[in-house]
Chain A
Amino acid sequence: MLKLCGYLLIIITISLLLVSCAPVSAPSTQTDENAGTTTLVVFAAASLTNVFDEIGATFRTAHPGVEIVYNFAGSNQLATQIAEGAPADLFASANEAQMAVALESGRIHADAERTFAHNRLVVVLPTDNPAGLIGLDDLRQPGLKIVLAAADVPVGQYALGFLDRAEADSSLGAGYKEAVLANVVSYETNVRAVLSKVVLGEADAGIVYTSDAAVQSDQLQQIVIPDALNAIASYPIAPLADSQQTELAQQFVDFVLGPDGQTVLAAYGFAPTSGEEQ
């Protein structure tokens, strides 16, 4: 037995040495020469799922032979994955903070970053509105089941910002934030999970982006959050500096910022942008 352990130790040590000496290479994209297709790996915030699917389809008709592979998840997960070296060509984040995480990793250059869309918050309710909510003030009713996104997901952060502004606002007033947060039964890991819980009727209310509400508007009621209290989310996009497809990635960014991309974004409930530099 001891001898066996000895063998194991030696072999594991050797393997470890070999691994640590091996050159680090993370090919970000593969070009299949035979098929003549190029793959573009797009990391995009969960709230972009539907709109990027459609933008991607339009982009592909203009660029035959391009295959787009998406990784849709919470921006924070994507930023972590990018910082940990995940192969990607493009990152579209739902807020500046997570783009900053990616910038910090050095895999994205700050001057490559563009804002491509804006989004706003809205309160969503199940179609039959089981709690009988009419206005924002009703969210403080004790005993409600409210679902928010976790504070580290951009939309969760924006929702907290809304509650802060509501707290300071004379019409909703002091104690509003605390009363609403007392009704929170779950902090979901992404905006789509918030939406599902509300659509299923398991929660009385949730706070999501207008773009998410637009996707399932027939299965939801909405309470508008006035501009003064609302948060305007900015969506930054940037190609990764170590991408093998920088040119194609930049073309995709330009496409999203151009009239075609902006039209699709508007159709999905996003506010347009002038594509300003960050």
Chain B
Amino acid sequence: MALTPSDETAHLEASAVGQRRATPWLLLLALPILFFLSLPLLALFLRSPLHQLATNLVRPEVVQAVQLSLTTGALSTLVTLGFGTPLAYLLARHRFRGRALMDTLIDLPMILPPAVAGLALLITFGRRGLLGAYLDDLGVSIAFTPAAVVMAQVFVASPFYIKSAISGFGSVDRDLEQAAAIDGANAWRILQHITIPLAWPALLGGIVMTWARALGEFGATIIFAGNFPGRTQTMPLAIYIGLELDLTIALTLSTIMLSISFLVLFVVKRVLHQRVTNRWQ
């Protein structure tokens, strides 16, 4: 079997086993930032007693926000997968004029303040917007709807998947694909059986990052989709409103978001790790 990039990763990891033991002074250097990152999260849990969590969990505004966030987050991820994969493949496999420009454009939504993204979406797809004005003539209105929530999330979160998928596709050994082609596999089968499985860790990592970013989207959503319970009020919006209305709701939703995100990220990381380890064995 040819040495694939992921085998290399596994090999590197294996050789690193000898250095696994953390030296105390390195640990000491690493601690401040770890502490800084984890203490506020811990504080959230400490300030939300369990009984309060239980009573708030069944409140309609909390249930609505959780449902809406999970649905829109899943939809945004699917949309990103559907439209982002071809773009990522194109950028990973082809060199053409304007490629660098496209690549940079994809970076922009990641570094743009989300409020700017929301305003940009509003003046594009709002009813007075660049495209929205025409849509409005057709009777299609996007702003203030769940569709606007999904669009805001895709705008802000899809680059995470696309970037990851570009490097994933780029790292697949072309010789393997060519060997399969010589053996008579058509393009679709090569993609299905070789390219995607080999790029899978990067794809999955990207999917999870996009999903997590979509789940946490706030700034673009509140400007483009507004805030309406059950329609456009996702968890981050409900948390923000809850800060004013009822701090315990904000705390409950924050702990729910943290728990869901942590669980998903952790599980995916474990799965990825196992895949790499299994292939190496």
Contact = CB atoms under 8 A, between A and B. Distances in A.
A186 B22 contact: no
B128 interface: yes
B264 interface: no
B227 interface: yes
Contact-residue bracket for chain A: 20 to 34
B66 interface: no
Interface in B1-54: 20-22, 24, 27, 31, 34-35
A202 B27 contact: no
Given A7-B24, A201-B128, A202-B122, A186 B226 contact: yes
Binding site secondary structure of chain A? mixed
A76 B143 CA distance: 26
Nearest to A150: B241
B244 A201 contact: no
Contacts of A80: 243-244, 247
Interface residues of B, number: 29
A164 B76 CA distance: 39
B163 interface: no
A22 to B, nearest CB: 13
Contact of B35 (A15, A147, A184, A186): A15
Contacts, number: 75
A150 B225 CA distance: 15
A1 interface: yes
Interface in A145-175: 145, 147, 150-153
A153 B243 CA distance: 11
Contacts of B245: 76, 150-152
Nearest to B31: A11
Contacts of A193: 222-223
Contact of A186 (B27, B126, B128, B232): B232
B144 A145 contact: yes
Interface of B: 20-22, 24, 27, 31, 34-35, 122-123, 126-128, 143-144, 222-223, 225-229, 232, 240-241, 243-245, 247
Interface of A: 1, 3-4, 7-8, 11-12, 15, 74, 76-77, 80, 145, 147, 150-153, 184-189, 193, 197, 200-202
25 contacts: A1-B20, A3-B21, A4-B22, A4-B27, A7-B22, A7-B24, A7-B27, A8-B31, A8-B34, A11-B27, A11-B31, A74-B244, A147-B226, A151-B245, A152-B244, A184-B228, A185-B228, A186-B144, A186-B227, A186-B228, A187-B241, A188-B222, A193-B222, A197-B226, A201-B126
